[in-house]
Structure 1
């Protein structure tokens, strides 16, 4: 109960410090990391997590923002409609990309 109260006030000094430290740690590590326990136990419990065998938790870093078309030096061919490189929206959501 106390932990969930903390998470409601995201601008508090404690959480801002926690976010800053965790963001730095996450940047130093690998993109896919298996965790021993969830970083938010209260939220994980509400989503159905139980602390017993058979439940695994991973943290996956996913590229933020739009999808970039993989073309060499930005050279595209075809009609003007298909000329876009940068502002393409990915069809799948970030969760499905992370689970891939």
Structure 2
């Protein structure tokens, strides 16, 4: 039995350093470093991941590659007398993941679009790159599509800022399957 083409793409991206993806990323990083923080791309870099997260090649759906700085918060060193522990300089980290921050920055740049989801496409020592899938809920092709019909409801506006994307749900602890969840209890 033959495997779908998307499985081969997923296998290559699962281990980038062992496959051709590592060389591709090395070349692409040199270009991406010189680009702006948010760049609209014509097609997804990881087609298998994008389609799994809801991307379809149709009008009203775009993909934006967003760059974000790695690491925690930067805080200047306190000048007055303090012992090092009380300076508040180390381990000042945001409560949101870098992926959520990238989604929110992209949503602010494209205010008429809604963030559907996002996925990792690369990182180096200083930055990470995510591709964010955006949908225009007012576009006629989107309004007519039954798959995206739920976006017409005004209660879904600003879903990225309320943690409704996949990365947002993960950060809010809604994707855990552990003790106490309905699927974990066996009777």
Provide the secondary structure at the position in 1 that maps to 2:45: coil
* RMSD (Å), alpha carbons: 2.3
1:15 aligns to what?
21
- CA drift at 1:96: 2.4
Structure 1 residue runs of 4 or more that deviate by more than 4 Å after TM superposition: 79-82
In the TM superposition, what is the alpha-carbon distance from 1:43 to its structure 2 partner?
0.9
Structure 2 residue aligned with 1:66:
72
Structure 1 CA distance, aligned partners of 2:41 and 2:14?
23
Of residues 11-20 and 43-52 in structure 1, the stretch that sits farther from structure 2 once superposed is 11-20
Q: Which one of the candidate residues 1, 9, 14 is aligned to 1:3? A: 9
- Residue deviations 1:12-68 (CA, integer Å, cap 9, x gap): 352221110111111111111111111111110011100001111111111101111
- Identify the match of residue 92 of structure 2 among 68, 88, 94: 88
Compared CA separation, residues 64 and 22, structure 1 to 2 (3 A): same
The 2-side partners of 1:94 and 1:6 are apart by 24
Aligned residues: 97
Compared CA separation, residues 7 and 76, structure 1 to 2 (3 A): same
Unaligned runs of 5+ in 1: none
Partner of 1:75: 78
**1-side partners of 2:100 and 2:18: how far apart?**
32
Q: Which is richer in strand?
A: 2
**SS where residue 15 of structure 1 aligns?**
helix
Residues 7 and 15, structure 1, Cα contact 8 Å, conserved in 2: yes
CA distance in 2, matches of 1:42, 1:27: 24
The residue number in structure 1 matching 2:59 is: 53
